[in-house]
Amino acid sequence: MTPATNGSATAAAPEEGDIEARARAAVRADDSAHEVSAEDETPPTYAADLREAATELWRFREMLYQLTLRDVRIRYKQAVIGFGWALLMPALVVLSGCLVRYAMSRKSGVPLDLAGIASISVKALPWSFFVGTISFATQSLTGNLQLVSKVYFPRAVLPLAATLGQAFDALIGACVLVLVLPFLDVHLSMALLWVPLLVLLLFLLTVAASLFLSCANLFFRDVKYMVQVMLMFGIFFTPVFFDPAMMGRRLAGLIMLNPLSPLLEGLRLAVVQQHDLLVPIVASDGIVVWSPLYLAYAALWAVLGLAASAMIFHRSEFVFAEYI
Amino acid sequence: MSDASVSFRHVWKKFRYGEVHNSLRDLIPALGRRLIRGRSPNARDLQSGDFWAVRDVSFEVRPGEAIGIIGPNGAGKSTVLKLLTRIVRPTRGGCSVHGRIGALIELSAGFHPDLTGRENVFLQGSIMGMHRREIAAKFDEIVEFAGIPDFIDTPVKRYSSGMHARLGFAIAAHLDPDVLIIDEVLAVGDAAFQQKAFARIAEMREQQVPLVVVSHQLDRIAQLCTKAILLNRGRVVHSGTPGETIAFYVKTTTSTADAIAGDSATRIESMIVDAPGEVPSGGTITVTITGSVRPHWTGTRESVVLRVASVETGTMVFSTDTALNGIALPYAGPFTLRVDLQLNVPANVYTIESLVLDTLTSREVFPGPSAQVNVGRGIAFTGSVQMNPRLRLEEGDGASTERTNASPVV
């Protein structure tokens, strides 16, 4: 905004209260002139595009907050079990995981110990966050047709609000997990310092997938069916109930290609095994259980995936209203 | 750069007819094409299945100005607003808006039925770009304006549709925008609220906030705007003062009937309204209808009807026909019917519609042409009928001075 316009806007309402005027000035400071032209021939660079997307998102941070609040409120308002919702899904994942592992232990003779249950618990929470977010976010654009076709705002706030709403649930789950883990023989260690990084990478990866899938579902309505199927069977291709090492050498490598796998395995090793993730683990039979490269691989997915999907999303968001 | 708050420079926008590819089956080829060619070289030209929703539209609005956009349905008015609010981007040309845009378009799009009025005010306010502090500062004012203080903590799903709309308008009206864009929301709520809403918009105009107004209520455009453009099929057909543009619109919508093969004996070929721009309330217009009758067994019971309806409300205010007046149409051959109408109605825009009625079955058997006439203020009055009042005031003993109002137009 030019200083001239700002000045005239303030001068137009001199009788306004001081605080209010200041609040307005603060809000307007980050408002800019909108210049849209089809004529400039030089295509914007990727960096400029991402910066533009980020600036717009920052301007609408209040909307993001309010939409997240809306999703959380709706979920807990008229629900019978209230905050239990946040625990139901991860608890069920843990329960089924224990069931599967118990069956396996009967066959193999290796008993399901407390560490096994702790492993499943630690991995079930991020998994249910991922699944919950993806299934909500995929339909976040098409589910808000009125908003998308009638009102301007950076469209990314819709999938992001879905992600943050689920993150709130995951936070409740995490609090409960922190209370439960000591009973599963998990102790504090320096390795826990890896957890924030792993959680951040998981969050970025989830946001990347949310942006991409919500956008894809807007253009191709059958994406949501495919996502449902993938989420249903994804648990067999992601080490939640099992550790990749149980699969043998070749299959373990394949499972670790899933960008979620290194993150979940990293969480298990850091929390349950108190293992420093910079140190590789190679089992006696030659299976690479852990390598710092796994972490680098997942980080690459998270960062590049987010950049790419934010890019695709931003470049196509201006035709959302035409295609929805 | 010009100092205009809103500028639209040779904007073109194309849309597609029918459905766009919508399933994953089409994804691979579409993505492949996009990857190989990037943006296709002639993306800015019309391809098969495309049409121009907006063609070469230019206008500017400066602080203190208000522009009205009028035109028939499908003229591109809403697309222009979507381009202004950045919901869609132009295919060619450029548009710019300086400062915060307040859009009175979809007033309650963000409302969630399960949330209370209070929660929705904050939600909807944030969607319009307001911050929590700003909304909190204006909260009482918003509730007061909407007139629902008792229901603010009730979920909006229990609101009446009027309350819903009023709350939406109240939030938008307190946005303090730098540019205000209005799309057909002047008809929200009851008459009292409409008055209040209109006053609020007029007040913003007084504060030099530039306005862009789309409305079918032509009298509102005339009252509110400093200039107006007429769109038709995406093009600017006329631009000028609101009065001029509305008059042009009204004149050009007089059309000849499409030759629909009906089973009526009587056909109306044309209707001409002799209304030079604006007719003062109480003034007389002559409507000339030409048509023909073919020998047909229903001929004797058909009647040519003329109806006058308010464009704003759609209610019919007057109707007359040949049968009612004891005028027999010819058995066969052409005819010309002239009707003098004294427009004893309040200032507004009216449609004059001609048609052929089968008096036995009361069915409309032939839709004739219609026209719009813009009735201006003749003499000041309120109410729904203009009675050509003649006021005489005598002072003192009545002998010395007598004051009368200007003799009404007859």
Residue A276 dihedral angles phi and psi, to the nearest 5°: -75, 120
ipTM of the complex: 0.81
Question: Is residue B337 pLDDT above 50, yes or no?
Answer: yes
Tokens of B4: 């205009």
**Which chain A residues touch B206 with a CB distance below 8 Å?**
none
Taking the domains of chain A in order of start, what are their residue ranges? 60-323
> How do residues B357-392 score in pLDDT, each as one tens digit?
888 777 778 878 888 888 887 777 777 788 877 777
Q: Is the pTM of this model over 0.80?
A: no
Cβ-based contacts of A20 with chain B (< 8 Å):
134, 137-138
Average pLDDT value for residue range A35-51: 72
Q: From the CB of residue A308, how many other CB atoms can be counted at a distance below 10 Å?
A: 14
Answer yes or no: is pLDDT of B101 > 50.
yes
Question: How many Cβ pairs within 8 Å bridge chains A and B?
Answer: 162
User: Is the pLDDT at B406 greater than 50, yes or no?
Assistant: yes
**H/E element holding A56?**
helix A46-59
Q: Which residues on B lie below 8 Å from A37 (Cβ)?
A: 90, 93-96
**Residue B177 C-alpha, separation from nearest chain A C-alpha, in angstroms:** 9
**Per-residue pLDDT tens over the stretch A54-112:** 999 999 999 999 999 998 888 887 666 777 878 888 999 999 999 999 998 888 888 88
Residue B32 in this model has a pLDDT that exceeds 80: no
**Which residues 227-266 of B have a C-beta within 8 angstroms of A?**
none
> Which 3 state secondary structure label does DSSP give B406?
coil
Give the containing element (helix H, strand E) for B70. strand B66-70
Give the count of beta carbons closer than 10 Å to the beta carbon of residue A272.
24
- Cα-Cα-Cα-Cα torsion B169, B173, B175, B178, nearest 10 degrees, comes to 130
Cβ of B87 within 8 Å of Cβ of A149? The answer is: yes
Higher pLDDT, B44 or B18: B44
Q: Which among A70, A220, A323 has the least Cβ separation from residue B115?
A: A70
User: Lowest mean pLDDT: which of A305-314, B59-68, B114-123, B393-402?
Assistant: B393-402
Q: Is B317 part of the contact surface with chain A (CB cutoff 8 Å)? A: no
Q: Which of A10, A36, A67 to mutate to test the interface with B (most CBs of B within 10 A)?
A: A36
Cβ–Cβ contacts within 10 Å for residue B24, how many? 16
Distance from CA of A83 to the nearest CA of B (A): 17
Residues 6+ apart with CB under 8 A from B312: B216, B217, B219, B348, B349
Residue among B250, B257, B252 nearest B368 (CA): B257
Closest chain B residue to A43 measured between Cα atoms? B39
More confident residue, B362 or B327: B327
Q: For the residues of A256-286, what is the DSSP string, one character each?
A: TTSTHHHHHHHHHHHHTS---TTS-EE-TTS
Beta-carbon contacts of residue B87 (< 8 Å; ≥ 6 apart) = A149, A150, A151, A152, A321
CB B204 within 8 A of CB A9: no
What's the mean per-residue pLDDT of chain B?
Answer: 82
**The sheet that has B363-376: what strands, in order across it?**
B278-280, B363-376, B348-358, B302-310, B316-321
Q: Is B349 left (phi over 0), alpha (psi -120 to 50) or beta?
A: beta
The whole-angstrom distance between A302's CA and the closest CA on chain B is: 23
- Contact between chains at A31 and B97 (C-beta distance less than 8 A): no
- Tell the CATH superfamily of the B254-376 domain: abc- transporter (atp binding component) like domain (2.70.50.60)
Q: Do B90 and A38 touch (CB under 8 A)?
A: yes
pLDDT at A79: 66
